[in-house]
Every structure is written in C-alpha cells, then in structure tokens.
Amino acid sequence: MSIDRTEWGVAEGYVREYGHFIDGTDEPSIGGERIERHNPASGELVASWPAGTITDVDRAVKAAVRAFEDGRWSGLTASQRSDVLGAVSRKLKSDWKRLALIESLETGKAISQSADEIPWSGDMWDFAAGQARALHGDSYSGFGESKLALVLREPIGPVGIITPWNYPMVVLAQKLPYALAAGCTVVVKPSEFTSGTTLELAQILREAGLPDGVFNVVTGYGNPVGQRLAEHHDIRLVSFTGSTATGRKVVEASASNMKKVVLELGGKNPNVIFADADLDAAVDGAIKAFVYNSGAECCSGSRVIVERSIMDSFVAKLDERLDTVSIGDPLDPATKMGSINNKPQYEKILKYIEIGKDEATLVRGGGASPQLGGLFIEPTVFKDVPLDATIAKEEIFGPVIAVIPFDSIDDAIHIANDTEYGLASSVWTSDLATATKMARKVNAGVVWVNTFLDLPSEIPVGGVRQSGYGRENGRYAAEEYTVVKTVVLQDPSAAPRYLV
C-alpha cells in the first residue's frame, strides 16, 4: 500500500512550481520556458522548473562571484561555517520525509530507498561540517631561525556543480557541503529531470543561515545551462557527475579559463565471486548491485565474474532469490525496485537487452513491464557472456547484468581490468590472500570485499581511467575545493642581500 502523501508533506495531485534560486531569492527564468516533470512510474505531473538560459547562468555566477569576493562566507571562521553545515545536516536527518517523497516522485525510485538517502546525505553534511574546521595547511621551519614557510589552503573560488538524475540529493551531498566547508561559493545545475530536491535544499540552507549569493541554483538543460557553467570565465572549478561523453565536453569547456575539473563518470564495474565465498551473501550482494536504484548506479556491479566451478549453483540461486524482489509502485514501502528514471534511459536499456539476446544466454527478465503503469523494466540476467560482447563492455545503467565465468585468480584479474572504466569493484571470497591480491590488482577507485555500495562519509570515492578523476567524500573531497598557497616569511634584518 502506498504511503499517505499528505502525511509525508506533499498532497496527492499537488504540482510543485519552482523558480531558479539566485542571490537568495526565487527567480523566474529570463526567457520564460519551463520544464515539466512527470513521475516516471505513473506519468503524473509532479513539478515544473525553469529551462534556464545563458543569461540566468551569468546572473547566478555574478552573485556567486560577489559573495566570494566580499568574504561574506570565506571570511567567516571555520567554526561559523561548520555551524551552518551542521544545522543543514540536522534538518536532513530529522525532517527527511518531504524530501524523500519528492525524490521518489521525481526519480521513480523506491520510497524505502529515498528514506535512506536523505539522512545519508545529512551524514555527509555532518562530516563536511567537521572538515570545515579540520582543513589546514602545513609549515616548514628548517631554513634557519630567520625564516619560516607556510602552506595555506585557501578556497579555490566560485564553483560550478553539475549533477545527474540517479541520486539528486546524494550526489549533491558528495560535493556541495565540501565546497562550502572550504569557503567556496556555488552555482548548481541539477538534472533537468530531477531538480526539485536541490531547490528545496536552497530553502533549508537559507534557514540554516547561509548568506545570500553563496548557494545558487539554475535549472535547465545540459546545453545551454551546464555548458555555460563549464565554460564560464569566473568559475574556478567544475565538479561533474554524469556520463563519460558529457564529462569530455565539460573538460573541453573548462579549457576556456583552465578551471579545475572533478569528474565522477560511468563504470562497467566488476563484481568477482570466488568459489570459496559465502554464496548467500554473494548472491544477495550481486542482486543489490544491479537492482538497487533500478541499476542506475555508477558503482553498479554490472559484470558479475564468477568462478566456473560454482557458476551453475550461483546462477540458479540468483534466479531463485530474484523472485523475492518486489517491483512496482515506488511509494509502497515494500517495493524494492521502482521505475526507470526517464524515457531516453528506458529506451537505452531496452536496446541493450535486445543486443544481449543476440550475444549471450538470457536467464531471466528480458523486457519491459508495461502492466505496472510506467517505465518499468524486469531485472535481466545474461550468462555465458563473451568478453567482447557489447553488454560486457558498455555501461547500460539499468537492471541488467552480464555473468562471465573465470578459471583462476589471474584470469579474474584480467577480466576485471578488461575495461576502459575504473570506478568501483567488489570481490567475494573467504580467503585473505585472494582478497589482498584482488584489492591490489584491480584497477578501480574502490574495491569492496564481501560488501557492496558501502560508503561511509569518511571514505573517498572516485574513479581511475575513463571513470574520471578527483575524489568525493572524506577529507579528500574538502581538499579538492582548495588551492595551496605558499608563504615564505623572512626576518628582514637577517635577509640575504642580492647586491652585496
């Protein structure tokens, strides 16, 4: 049964209407067009926001530059900044229902998942609040008594953040609080499909005491809004999460003023299961790794690489356990998997499933579930997938896995690394030597052993190869938004003279 929407903060049938958020106020777009968002699980109109223009981006960047230069945020003490971030965290942890509902209405994801994601985002804000005070530089004192060198960490400047539709609040929480902790000001462009919670957050930040102009949101399409932000001369860093193809455009656009870029891109992540693994745990992990968030997960374990001796029992168990995954109404707390987020993504997944049918053996699934009333796709398992198959190479970003056999640990390492990506990986084994060797040899930003999508706020995440560069979360995230400045202090009475 669906939740009571009124009790969760947004009455059924209510259509939320937003403006941009610039310099502390809601503003309409200059240009006037709007984007309507329909719930992908039901087709219901749930919200609308402006289709921003270049002029809107320029206005928001101007506000962010002004707020950065007059020091209304970077000039506060770290403890004052930490207080504001802490207040946001408390709000996200205590008052998450309305945001969770909006997240599910706009993404189609299961409400049980959104109900985790908002407090989880709050935890990142909490960790970043600590980072505001922990950020520090360095000093050198080994040059004799008359000289000292200091290494300062200063905020990099106004930052642009471009986010995708799969985790609107979580991805924002991996970036925004760290940028604010460092003292930066920010312009965010959320996905055109899922901008609601980012705009709701603007109100929370205002109530928490963030000065006007420090956080700005311009909604709209990738081009022109994201493109303009990535090109803008007054933006000093762009943090982007999305596809590798768009990431490349962001890098090209950044050349306009040599801004720093932090990229979290796609993945074709290996999930390697050894014969000595706890089979129940491995099957459960493999299911979560492609069903969670309907597979729209950059870390999704989309290549399941299984030791040949347990292949048949693994696939049989996987098939049996998938019967227990409830798919359907995202607003029913019992639902595990909701709908696909948007039509282009839905069509992309179905196209890959058809390709897979020609390349490998279909174990289960294999199509859409239109009887559920929206963009639903069955969890789909392919086995005996050749290494050069399209479904073994390309990111599908949906509830589809390619199961691939291996014969030895070296074989498993070779297959795991046979990709242009390198975001995340999982290994399931009870042998410490196997775990250690895999952890050292797999090319990925994260290696999970006997667990999956285990992301406490303390630990950094990010990719290698075409999965991007830079890190989110942990102290590394806060450092991304700083520049190092060196100061050399010389006692003038003891200064060496050039001309004498």
Strand blocks (E) in 248-398: 260-264, 270-273, 303-307, 361-364, 380-383
Strand blocks (E) in 218-357: 237-241, 260-264, 270-273, 303-307
The count of residues in the chain is 500
Alpha carbon distance 210, 408 (integer Å) = 55
Find the shortest distance in angstroms from Cβ 31 to ligand TXE: 17
Phi, psi dihedrals of residue 138, rounded to the nearest 5°: -155, 170
- Inter-CA distances, 264 with 26, 162, 401, 462, 471, Å: 29, 11, 21, 6, 8
Residues with a known catalytic role: 264, 298
> Judged by CB, which is closer to ligand TXE: 89, or 114?
114
> Judged by CB, which is closer to ligand TXE: 297, or 329?
297
Q: Provide the residue type at 386 as one letter.
A: P
Cβ-contact 205, 186 below 8 angstroms: no
Beta bridge partners of 140: 149
Order of strands, sheet of 34-38, starting from the edge strand that comes earlier in the sequence: 16-17, 45-50, 34-38
> Cβ-closest residue to ligand TXE?
222
Find the shortest distance in angstroms from Cβ 155 to ligand TXE: 23
- Which residue is listed with tokens 């975001």? 423
Find the shortest distance in angstroms from Cβ 173 to ligand TXE: 14
Nearest to 314 by CA among 288, 281, 291, 336: 281
> Judged by CB, which is closer to ligand TXE: 221, or 476?
221
The alpha-helical segments, DSSP class H, found in 149-278 are 168-173, 176-182, 196-208, 227-231, 244-254
Beta bridge partners of 147: 490
Cβ-contact 258, 232 below 8 angstroms: no
Find the shortest distance in angstroms from Cβ 262 to ligand TXE: 12
Nearest to 273 by CA among 498, 450, 94: 450
Find the shortest distance in angstroms from Cβ 248 to ligand TXE: 9
Find the shortest distance in angstroms from Cβ 285 to ligand TXE: 19
Cβ-contact 487, 481 below 8 angstroms: no
Positions touching ligand TXE (CB under 6 A) are 162-166, 189, 191-192, 221-223, 226-227, 230, 241-243, 246, 249-250, 264-266, 298, 345, 348, 395, 397
Q: Is 251 helix (H, G, I), strand (E, B) or coil?
A: helix
Find the shortest distance in angstroms from Cβ 330 to ligand TXE: 19
The CB-side HSE value for 408 (13 A sphere, CA atoms) comes to 2
> Judged by CB, which is closer to ligand TXE: 319, or 394?
394
**Count of H helices and E strands in the chain?**
17, 20
Find the shortest distance in angstroms from Cβ 488 to ligand TXE: 40
